[in-house]
Homo-oligomer: A and B are copies of this chain.
Amino acid sequence: MKWQELGEKNCPVARSLSILGDRWTLLIIRNAFLRTCRFEDFQKQLGITRHLLSDRLNRLVEKNVFKKVLYQEAPKRYEYKLTEAGLALYPVMLVLTKWGNTWMNEDGSHPPLEYVHKPCGHKTSPELCCSECGEEIHVRDMMPLLDRLQDNAESPLTGISS
């Protein structure tokens, strides 16, 4: 499969990964949530090569995850800001944070990154909940709606665990 084809798939996971699925993109977005927004800063913080950074930022602008905002005329300089689509990736960050805290810390050598939920004031662990009943979502409780074509490579994510 050519990589570019992913963006055309009917599976939304495949489409998401056509943008996010590489070694640097999600790290760049992580740092954007940390308020980094300039080329030099991304480069220094991540240690990514300038070439790749330029490439990824352009792609993310093209895909509407970042927007360029002029902050200086002559020479023109832009900040890379998260768009609405980019900000909507915050759950991805939190979910990866939680997974990394729990499962990428076998020897306990890394202190977990924890958050306080300001409105209620408690240390919180984000959970995926049903928008209708509010209950926490478990793998086997989810049933995909299958009014779609189903060839092997594009079948939707089922809710049934192995």
Give the B-binding residues of A (Cβ under 8 A): 1, 3, 7, 10-24, 26-27, 30, 32-35, 37, 44-48, 64, 81-82, 85, 87-106, 110-120, 122-135, 137, 139, 141-145, 147-148, 152-153, 155-162
Contact B130 A37 (CB under 8 A): no
CA distance A135 to B126 in the complex (A): 10
CA distance A129 to B87 in the complex (A): 17
Contact B111 A137 (CB under 8 A): no
Contact B14 A27 (CB under 8 A): yes
Contact A104 B22 (CB under 8 A): no
Contact B129 A134 (CB under 8 A): yes
Contact A27 B17 (CB under 8 A): yes
CA distance A117 to B157 in the complex (A): 14
| Identical chains in the assembly | 2
- Chain B residues near A156 (CB-CB < 8 A): 113
Contact A104 B21 (CB under 8 A): no
CA distance A126 to B106 in the complex (A): 28
Measured CB to CB, the nearest residue on chain B to A114 is B145
Contact B92 A99 (CB under 8 A): yes
Contact A82 B161 (CB under 8 A): yes
Contact B11 A111 (CB under 8 A): no
- Measured CB to CB, the closest approach of chain B to A136, in angstroms, equals 8
Measured CB to CB, the nearest residue on chain B to A144 is B115
